[in-house]
Amino acid sequence: MNTEKDILEELATEEYKYGFTTDIEMDIAPKGLSEDIIRFISKKRQEPEWLLEWRLKGYRQFITMSIPNWQNFKHPEVDFQDMSYFAAPKKKPTLNSMDEVDPDLIETFKKLGIPLDEQKVLAGVVAVDAVFDSVSVKTTFQKKLKEKGVIFGPLSEAVKSHPDLVKKYLGSVVPATDNFYAALNAAVFTDGSFVYIPPGVECPMELSTYFRINAANTGQFERTLIIADKGSYVSYLEGCTAPQRDENQMHAAVVELIALDDAEIKYSTVQNWFPGDKDGNGGIYNFVTKRGLCKGHHSKISWTQVETGSAITWKYPGVLLKGDYSVGEFYSVALTKNHQIADTGTKMIHMGKHTRSKIISKGISAGVSQNSYRGLVKITRHAEQVRNFTQCDSLLIGDRCGAHTFPYIESKNDSATLEHEATTSKIGEDQIFYLNQRGIDSEKAVGLIVNGYAKEVLNQLPMEFAVEAQKLLAISLEGSVG
């Protein structure tokens, strides 16, 4: 095992290589999906019997379901038999393996300054778990976390080291029966992060997972499980990248959060999967189920997402507000350009009394992209004195893109207070000219305007990541203007 110093050294000295070769030897499962494949995955991962059973149950669920069709886009043809469900480097790689990035991504990283995760690790303020294809490759700062009793690492390890916790909570918020992709994930999930914060502990640093799809013809099906015990607090961030490939790749992750009494989980995502080229070839299908359970009274779960990548983003991070006085929040910026599609929003399910939720969604569409907000606010019969505030704004760049809003509200209790605001605007030529006239070129001008528009959401991110997200938004829009 490397020491922290070694890791820092490694990170500080590593260089990006150009070109795109993967010289890591990989263990790749044969293409296709069957009970045998699932047994293969489970065996490769040396899993206990109960987990294999759990997976098989998921698989049996999966084969009874069909691809959903209620979304606001045409579901691409996906051949689930023409995909590999497990890819792992033969030798356990170090973070070095992440340097095989295509030049466009390198360019992006350069524009972002130092590669993001390295910067954070160097600064020593963030503990990182890196998931490379299907396997978690490295978790930093274990020792410091251990002192506080925080468990943070690959889910595959937690299965062995903390089976009771995993058994108790795995699938408790997103069961396999939830939806098509949740069932698929249950069957074939590979790795992901596991976090447990003990009672009363405020996690001493930001926890971060960096996901990367590297191998071709593989899907990534990670599964993340975060449990904040009574009175604890954790802030968690996930970042994602993938190399540029002509074919589409599947990413069907599941994230489950559980907050017990008085606990708070803040979950932030900066999603920058490969979005496909400007003609809409390639890119990641990002079909993700994320849900939090405010199980305890006065608990709080807050989702913040900045979505700039993926050919299709399809996800609704939601909160089940079960504990009385619990709070759910959703802050989202979704930027689409070229042929990208985003159909994203949230579900706030109010079950407890005096529960509150807040939804701030900012869509930005450019090119010929389609950007939809889809949200559900549901108040069950016994949920007294619920409050919700929803604001969905759409910003259009150019006149060939689309913005759509699908807000659903179901209230079975008259005592609820619900507010909804929505706006649609275009970036004005007048605004761009005004900034031009002050010496700022059009691309920078749009970057400024878009960041101003998204500010309310970006302000929710941990500070280091807010800066990064701002740059990402500006970079993502390059070439979209003029």
Q: Which residues bind another protein (CB under 8 A)?
A: 428-431, 433-442, 444, 448-449, 451-456
In the bound state with another protein, the residue whose beta carbon lies nearer, of 234 and 446, is: 446
Choice between 178 and 456, CB closer to another protein? 456
Residue corresponding to tokens 């795995």: 170
**CB-nearer residue toward another protein: 357 or 361:** 361
Q: How far is the CB of 417 from another protein (least distance, A)?
A: 26
CB of 239 to another protein, least distance (A): 24
Q: How far apart are CA 117 and CA 7, in angstroms?
A: 12
Q: Measured from the CB of residue 131, what is the shortest distance to another protein in angstroms?
A: 34
Tokens of 158: 């937690």
Each as own residue / partner, the long-range contacts of residues 11-19 (CB below 8 Å, 24 or more positions apart, any chain) are 11/95, 11/118, 11/121, 11/122, 12/118, 12/122, 14/95, 14/96, 14/99, 14/118, 15/99, 16/99, 16/101, 16/106, 16/109, 16/115, 17/99, 17/100, 18/103, 18/106, 19/103
The count of other CB atoms within 10 Å of the CB of residue 282 is: 18
128 near 209, Cβ under 8 Å?
Answer: yes
User: Sign of dihedral through CA atoms 194, 197, 202, 203?
Assistant: negative
Tokens of 111: 């524009």
Q: Which residue number, 311 or 364, has a Cβ lying nearer to another protein?
A: 364
- Residues contacting residue 430 through CB under 8 Å, at least 6 positions apart: none
Cβ of residue 393: shortest distance to another protein, in angstroms? Answer: 10
Tell me the β-bridge partners of 228.
197, 259
Q: From the CB of 444, what's the least distance to another protein, in Å?
A: 7
Give the helix/strand (H/E) hosting 288. Answer: strand 283-294
CB of 429 to another protein, least distance (A): 7
- Please state, in angstroms and rounded to a whole number, the distance separating the CA atoms of residues 27 and 134: 10
Comparing CB distances to another protein, the nearer of 68 and 452 is: 452
| Nearer of residues 210 and 331 to another protein, judged by Cβ | 331
In the sheet with 206-212, reading across from the earlier edge strand, the strands are: 135-139, 126-132, 206-212, 233-241, 264-271, 300-307, 327-336, 356-365, 387-396, 417-426
State which residue, 18 or 434, has the beta carbon closest to another protein: 434
Identity of the residue, 254 or 435, whose beta carbon is nearer to another protein in the bound complex: 435
- Residues 384, 232: Cα–Cα separation, whole Å: 26
Q: Which two tokens stand for residue 217?
A: 């013809």
- Could you tell me the smallest distance in angstroms from the CB atom of residue 467 to another protein? 12
Distances (CA, A) of 68 to 101, 206, 288: 33, 35, 13
- Output the smallest distance, CB 435 to another protein, in A: 7
- Residue 376 or 448: which CB sits closer to another protein? 448
Q: How far is the CB of 136 from another protein (least distance, A)?
A: 37
